[in-house]
Amino acid sequence: MRFAQRNAQVSARITMDVCDDRTRRYTVGTMSALPEILAHNTEFVKNKEYEAFLTSPLPNKRLVIITCMDTRLVELLPKAMGLRNGDVKMIKTAGAIVSHPFGSVMRSVLVAVYQLEADEIAVVGHHGCGMTGLSPGTVLEKARQRGISPDTFQTLMHAGVDLQQWLTGMESPRAGVLASVKMIRDHPLLPQDVAVHGLIMDPETGRLEMLSPGEEGDE
Ligand SMILES: [Zn+2]
């Protein structure tokens, strides 16, 4: 009961903090996980549970990991790879796909290398990835059903946005990882002495399979 009351208080505080109508719609109109998270956070800080996680911004293992946002990997991947807080720079994106050489993922990699002393990169895809065979038609149809106007699709297309290509997934996790490894390895701003590895994880057992050692050429 006390927990429920605290949630209600937190929820009310969020609502009061929100002035923008658009944001208010999401805050009030949905079943949000946020009140429970904020309540937990208050206790976490109060009990100084953070002390076990104190570390520096520099990655102890000088490693960058690019992996998928899959929920099964949230705890499994660090545990299966023996990683602790502070060990690596972790970049998460659907399918572990680096889709653009000058997008935010590649920028993050370069910042990690030049600013944060990382000198090794591992792309970790996984079996059973939702980005395998992702159909742009299906995604766009669901967007339409959720209220996105066909005019919006038209406007984006006229503006030069290729939604079909943008929302296309990968042929297989292996193909996705190898394409990302190639994108990073071939990047004109990546130093030659930075190793780029490709791996696939089993999302149930955490078992890793090495696809292409960083020192080798492309597949
Ligand atoms: Zn995935």
Phi then psi for residue 64, to 5 deg, are -110, 130
Query: What per-residue confidence (pLDDT) applies to 218?
Result: 42
The pLDDT value given to residue 26: 52
Alpha carbon of 128 to ligand 1 centroid (Å): 7
DSSP 170: B
Q: How far is the CA of 197 from the centre of ligand 1 (A)?
A: 17
pLDDT for position 20: 47
* CB contact burial 28-39 (16+ within 10 A = b; e otherwise): eeeeeeebeebb
Query: Residue 109 has what pLDDT?
Result: 98
E strand map for the chain: 63-67, 88-92, 120-126, 195-201, 208-212
Distances from the Cα of 139 to the Cαs of 60, 150, 163, 171, in angstroms?
39, 13, 10, 17
Question: 138: CA distance to ligand 1 center in Å?
Answer: 18
> How many Å apart are CA 186 and CA 141, to the nearest integer?
35
- Separation of CA 147 and ligand 1 centre (Å): 26
pLDDT by 10s per residue, the chain, length 219? 344 444 444 444 444 444 444 444 555 456 799 999 999 999 999 999 999 999 999 999 999 999 999 999 999 999 999 999 999 999 999 999 999 999 999 999 999 999 999 999 999 999 999 999 888 999 999 999 999 999 999 999 999 999 988 898 899 999 999 999 999 999 999 999 999 999 999 999 999 999 965 434 444
- For tokens 């903090």, name the residue: 17
User: From the CA of 133, how far away is ligand 1's center (Å)?
Assistant: 11
What single-letter amino acid sits at 37?
Answer: I
> Do the Cβ atoms of 184 and 122 come closer than 8 Å?
no
Task: Please state, in angstroms and rounded to a whole number, the distance separating the CA atoms of residues 23 and 6.
Answer: 22
| pLDDT score recorded for residue 30 | 62
Å from CA of 67 to ligand 1 middle: 8
Look at residues 91, 116, 115 and name the one whose alpha carbon lies nearest to residue 184.
91
Count the residues in the chain.
Answer: 219
Ligand 1: centre distance to CA 95 (Å): 4
Domain boundaries, the chain: 2-52, 56-131+169-212, 136-166
Ligand 1 centroid to residue 87 C-alpha, Å: 22
DSSP for 58-82, written as a single string: S-TT-EEEEE---TTHHHHHHHHTT
Report how far ligand 1's centroid is from the alpha carbon of 64 (Å).
18
For the full predicted model, state whether its pTM sits above 0.75: yes
Question: Domain 56-131+169-212 - what CATH class?
Answer: alpha beta
